[in-house]
Structures are given as C-alpha cells and as structure tokens.
Amino acid sequence: MKDNLRVVLLGVRGSIPVSGADFVKYGGSTICVLVHMGGETILLDCGSGVLQSGSLTADVQHLSILLSHPHVDHLIGFPMWPFLYEKGKQATFYAVPRGELSARKQMEALMSPPLWPVGFEAFHANLICKDILEPSIQIGSVLVEHLDLAHPGGASAFRLSYGGHSLVYASDCELSQGQLPRLSAFSKDCDLLLCDGQYSDEEYPLRVGWGHSSWSMAATLGKACGAKRTVLVHHAPQYTDNFLDKADQQLRSRYPNCTLGRCGEEFAL
Ligand SMILES: [Zn+2]
Ligand SMILES: [Zn+2]
C-alpha cells in the first residue's frame, strides 16, 4: 500500500461512543478518519476514534484536522488526544464558522467550564484554529473543497484532491432534503466516498429531520456520483456487529463497491 495515499477509518460510530462485545468488529469509537495524502496527514473530524491514531501519527510533527461541524461526537476525542500534549507537535484545526462561532470557539465550547476542567493552555503542542472562509483551501499540495450539508446546525462535506485522486467525506447529512443533486455533483467521479449512512431503511422513516441518511440513500448517492467506492459511516450507536454484518451483505449484493465502514479499515487511493 502506497503510504502517501492512504485512508484509515479510526472511528465510524455516530452520535455517541459505545462499547461491549457486540461492537468489536465495526467499533464503538465515534467518527474520525485519517488521511495520508500528498505528504500531508489530515484527520477528518476528531471523535473518540482519534485515540486510535497513536502509531499512525507517532512520526508526524504537524497535522491538520478538518472539522465538519461541532457536534460533540465529532469533537469528543480532542481534549484527551495524546498528540496535543506532546511538545514540538503542531495541529491545525480548520472549520467553517457557524453563526457567531469561529473554528476556535466551536472547539473551546467543549473545553470550558462546567464541561471540562482545563482549557487550551493544558496542551503542550502548538494548536492553531483557522476559519474556512473561501470555497476551497490548500493544505500543502492537497486541495480541499467544501459544501454545506443538510444537518441541524449545519455541517460541511469535504473533497480532498491530490495527484488526480480524490476522496469525499460527507458526514453528517440527510440526503432527502434536496441534497442529492448538489452532493452528487460535488462528489462526481471521486475515488472514495465516505457518506453518512446512519440508519437502516426500516428505521429512517422514524428519524426524518434528524439530519442523517439511510443505507439506501447513501448507496444511491455513491451510484449517482460515480464514486469508485462508497463506504457508509456514522453507524447508529444501537447497531450491533451482527446487525451491521447482515446489512453489509445486503448492501454489497445490491450496490457494487458499496460497504459499511469498519474501525481500522484501510483504503489506498
Ligand atoms: Zn455526528
Ligand atoms: Zn451532527
């Protein structure tokens, strides 16, 4: 596997971390994806899965984090992330401002009283927060484009491109709200699509308006945009390994190159 074009799923659970014997294969850590691309190390969100990044970032001095939105399942990993307690390391967080909240304020909200005992001064690494104010930014040689998603409070999809390869990360989003054509155009012909597929097709009708998609909705997006591979993430916390295994088999038979993401799974672009 070429190390400069590598994607690792560190956490694929949505809403809240879960643990126990029923959650071993797909993992209980909330959403976090590690991307090695164009010489850069980039994390997509910073859920509790970031704590699985240890050996993968041991030799990395500087990395970037793209925050889709400040819901707690996407941020809960960073206050106890060992990387931020190491002198000489640097982490740059990027986020689209949400209302009055800059990127920094979105993160500070979690590390402030009464929710947390210490603030950013506890970190030994150099932590930088940058607002995304343009339609696209460069992280080194990687082009990062973003798109607003249908989700309570808003969220951003990201498209990362380098050397003719691209991946799209679209969690959290509800694809029923006129979102499919826009997100399909944004994701056109990507190599890897990581898409919110939180709910079974049976459960989704009970959760309309909650800001998440069903398995079929996410798979339909993958087909519509021509993604070479579609991986569903942000699994509902109550879905066990057995339940997700059955769904994964059905999905593979109905939609070629579409699967449910598992914690620790790797992809080479
Ligand atoms: Zn979420
Ligand atoms: Zn959310």
Q: Is the pTM of this model over 0.75?
A: yes
Ligand 2 geometric centre to CA of 154 (Å)? 8
Burial of 141-180, coded b for 16+ CB within 10 Å and e otherwise, reads: ebebbbbebbbeebbbbbbbbbeebbbbbbbbbbbeeebb
| Per-residue pLDDT in tens (0 to 9) along the chain, 269 residues | 445 689 999 999 999 999 999 999 999 999 999 999 999 999 999 999 999 999 999 999 999 999 999 999 999 999 999 999 999 999 999 999 999 999 999 999 999 999 999 999 999 999 999 999 999 999 999 999 999 999 999 999 999 999 999 999 999 999 986 889 999 999 999 999 999 999 999 999 999 999 999 999 999 999 999 999 999 999 999 999 999 999 999 999 999 899 999 999 999 98
Tokens encoding 238:
């109550």
Distance in angstroms (rounded) separating the CA atoms of residues 182 and 163: 24
Point out the ligand nearest to the CA of residue 44.
1
Ligand 1 geometric centre to CA of 173 (Å)? 9
* Residue reference for tokens 């709200």: 177
Tokens encoding 100:
């009055």
- Number of structural domains (the chain) is 1
Burial of 250-269, coded b for 16+ CB within 10 Å and e otherwise, reads: ebeeebeebbbbbbbbebeb
Beta-carbon neighbour count of residue 249 at 10 Å?
12
- What pLDDT, on the 0 to 100 scale, is given for residue 5? 86
Point out the ligand nearest to the CA of residue 196.
1
Ligand 1 geometric centre to CA of 87 (Å)? 30
Distance in angstroms (rounded) separating the CA atoms of residues 219 and 224: 9
Point out the ligand nearest to the CA of residue 153.
2
Please choose, from the candidates 17, 18, 61, 57, the residue with its C-alpha nearest in 3D space to the C-alpha of residue 34.
Answer: 57
- What pLDDT, on the 0 to 100 scale, is given for residue 194? 98
- What pLDDT, on the 0 to 100 scale, is given for residue 201? 96
Q: Exposed, middle or buried, 230 (CB in 10 Å: 0-12/13-18/19+)?
A: buried
Distance in angstroms (rounded) separating the CA atoms of residues 244 and 25: 9
**What's CA 189's distance to the chain center, in Å?**
19
- What pLDDT, on the 0 to 100 scale, is given for residue 269? 81
Domain of residue 160 covers 5-268
> 213: domain CATH number?
3.60.15.10
- What pLDDT, on the 0 to 100 scale, is given for residue 200? 97
Integer Rg of the chain from CA: 17
Distance in angstroms (rounded) separating the CA atoms of residues 184 and 190: 10
Ligand 1 geometric centre to CA of 238 (Å)? 14
- What pLDDT, on the 0 to 100 scale, is given for residue 4? 65
Tokens encoding 107:
């993160």
Q: How far is CA 8 from CA 27, 31, 116, 120, 178, in A?
A: 13, 11, 29, 27, 30
Tokens encoding 20:
């126990």
Distance in angstroms (rounded) separating the CA atoms of residues 267 and 202: 29
